[in-house]
Amino acid sequence: MAHAKTKLPAIGKCFDNLGGSLAPLLFERLIGMDWIRPKEGKKTVFESIEKGKKGFEEAFYIDISNLEK
């Protein structure tokens, strides 16, 4: 059975490995969960929001509060 190719978002160039294949899916999921959003007036610059900061801390024990500074 042939699998249909899925067009991945252009957020990286290394789609020939697992990390490169998973990164766009994770990125879309973070947007869908309202953990990150585009910065106002920007299309390619994203920021974490409070829900995302709490989510990263609770799910992964990662403090991302200093990333934007």
| pLDDT of 10 above 60 | no
Q: What pTM value is reported for the model? A: 0.67
SS (H, E, C) 11-68: CCCCCCCHHHHHHHHHHHHHHHCCCEEECCCCCCCEEECHHHHHHHHHHHCCCCCCCC
If pLDDT is split at 50, 70 and 90, which confidence band does 41 have? very high
Average pLDDT over residues 31-38: 94
